[in-house]
Amino acid sequence: MSNMRSTDVQNKDSAESSSTVAKRRNFLKKAAVGATIASIPSHSVWAGRLISGNMSGNVSGWAEEKDLKIRSHGFYKQHLGYGQDTLFSVAFGGEPIPMVGKSLPSGLTLLDVMLNSKINNDSQNKTGGPSMVNAQLATMYLNAKNHAQYVKDGVIHWPVVNTTSGPFYSLNEYADYLYAQAVGSPTTVGDSLAQIICTYGTDPDRCVV
């Protein structure tokens, strides 16, 4: 894997983040697999329009709807420096989701899953996962992480994380929500996130998987 980190670097990252990842994994184990985490305050609007319901990606009703702007995984593959070197397991508290009956190596970065590379030259086993769900999860994580970029150049405006008003109070909380949904229904979630990116993406290739 051309973009996988060296073993030493991965081990260092794993050691530094092991406590945080362990806590988040415990949280995910307690959550009903694939269930909407509706008990988290202020999630109802985002949960209903991002994942649940008809999966249409409709976000009508947001005050910021006309200004929503996000990037696709195609953009993040070509423009580094947005956090793509983060380990997937650190971002989401769990490993990338494999195809049914397949397995993926540990230590994959967000960029690795976006590249959708073959594992052991198996065209039926790629890092992007079912319906590119891993790539779409990574994309939405980076869009939320880089929301402040909107202030700088008007490129990314995805105000899902707000430490005072929510609907998600931290990037980790948002990532955990998305990952819990994806573990239960990877194909459906992959397709629904792709639709959101297709609708609100600013890149020419936003609808290309």
Give the mean model confidence (pLDDT) for residues 126-151: 90
Read off the pLDDT of residues 65-98 as tens digits, 9 standing for 90 and up.
457 788 999 999 999 999 999 999 999 999 999 9
Of 72, 114, 75, residue with least CA distance to 96: 114
Q: Which range has the top average pLDDT, 32-36, 109-113, 169-173?
A: 109-113
pLDDT at 22: 60
State how far the alpha carbon of 186 is from the alpha carbons of 10, 131, 165, 192, in Å: 26, 7, 29, 10
Give residue-wise pLDDT tens across range 151-167: 567 688 888 888 887 77
> What is the three-class DSSP state of 151?
helix
Owner of token pair 């910021």: 64
Is the pLDDT assigned to residue 99 strictly greater than 90?
yes
Q: Is the pLDDT of residue 61 over 70?
A: no
SS3 category, 92: helix
**Which pLDDT score is estimated for 95?**
97
CA-nearest of 24, 58, 45 to 180 is 24
Q: What average pLDDT does this structure show over 37-50?
A: 38
Per residue in 11-40, pLDDT tens?
A: 555 555 566 666 555 544 433 322 333 333
Q: What is the SS3 assignment for 162-198?
A: CCCCCCECCHHHHHHHHHHHHHHCHHHHHHHHHHHHH
Higher pLDDT, 191 or 101: 101
